Amino acid sequence: MGISPYPGALPDHDSIIIIPLLFHLYVGLYCHKDRIAYIADGGNRFKSRIDITINLKDMLKVSLIGCHFDQQNYIDHCSSSAVMIALEFKKAYFSATIPLR
C-alpha cells in the first residue's frame, strides 16, 4: 500500500491518497474492490462543509465515508495532520478495522 498525491484518477489497488482541495489537504483510504474511500482531514471540513463533500464526491466518483479526526490542535497545519491521518488509516487497513475515528 503506497501513499501518493491524487493523480486525477484513482489507482487500481488499495491505497492512501492525498487530495489537495481549496488550500487544504484531505486524506483518503481507498478500497479498490469496494469502490469506497474513507476521508478525513485535520479540520474535519469534509464532515462539516457540504461544498467540500460535494467537490470530493464529484472528483473521486466513489462512495465516501467521512472519518472524524480529533487530534489536531491550534499549532497544527493540515499537512502535519495529513501525516497522522495517513498513519492511522494505514494502521486501520492492516488491522482490518473500519477507521471511523
Question: Domain of 52?
Answer: 3-94
Q: Is the pLDDT of residue 61 over 60?
A: yes
Q: Supply 68's cell numbers.
A: 472524524
- What's the pTM value of the predicted model, to 2 decimals? 0.86
**Mean pLDDT value of segment 56-70:** 91
Q: Is the pLDDT of residue 38 over 70?
A: yes
Describe the strand order of the beta sheet including 24-31 as a list of residue ranges: 3-5, 15-21, 24-31, 36-40, 63-66
The rounded radius of gyration (Å) of the Cα atoms in the chain is 12
Number of domains making up the chain:
1
Q: Is the pLDDT of residue 1 over 80?
A: no
pLDDT digits 0-9 by tens, 4-13: 667 778 989 9
Residue 48 forms part of a structural domain: yes
H helices of the chain, where? 45-48, 50-60, 78-94
* Mean of the per-residue pLDDT values of the chain: 86
Residue 83 forms part of a structural domain: yes
Residue 43 amino acid letter: G
Residue 101 forms part of a structural domain: no
